[in-house]
Structure 1
């Protein structure tokens, strides 16, 4: 059976289990931080996503097995006065990397963003994640810069 991408129904027990399993596998990967998700996060994640009107997730299935995940959160571009779609998480199980799963998930996120009238897709990637960087560049992403003379944007965080 070929690879197929399904929109996650956050109330569907099969989808819920697959989403948490895939995100936990990503969290445990060195590029995801190397630590498993906390039990309380696993317990509430799908309900929290379901309560949001700005969240969408897609799972890549190969036969009946979940092999990849993309979580998208809608934001807003004040410079364009239009919504934007941030790819908050994208993960492919290690044994399925390099087989087009990530590209299929990016395409699903792009279709969803277009359907929502978004002006762009955004994502963050670690500079050491060269395989993902190559995939994103191949899909048409480019480093964010308003003016090359000002340099590229840096993604920063402050825990609250």
Structure 2
């Protein structure tokens, strides 16, 4: 009987003091988030130019005659030149758009501090059962020790 009581108290002692463990402390770190956007990057093209030099003369009939013509233009410019028999001079100079848009990527780095909130974890059914069983076992142990202590005191009287 004595070995039963010693083993019973050993099991109860181990279950009471070794059954629970402390929770881990939560730590918060600074989180870095990188956001990448697709965007169009403007690239400016150099200015284009063109020039016309011409010598216009009148002939014996009173008409305008083009004696010589010199046209200089850059690679991207489109120059049109027209002289009619009545002496009207028409020059047209076309240039494509000065800005070219090239697709690119833009990244933004956002550092944000995360606030950590500790929340109590819900107990599982097994954990609730163990808590209730331990409380009932401790009550029975206290009653058992009380009755044994009372019987020992009555024995010495």
Q: For this structure pair, what is the TM-score category when the shorter chain's length is used for normalisation?
A: under 0.3
Higher-helix-fraction structure: 1
Higher-strand-fraction structure: 2
Q: Which has the higher contact order (CA 8 A, sep 6+)?
A: 2
User: Normalising by structure 2, what TM-score?
Assistant: 0.18
User: Normalising by structure 1, what TM-score?
Assistant: 0.18
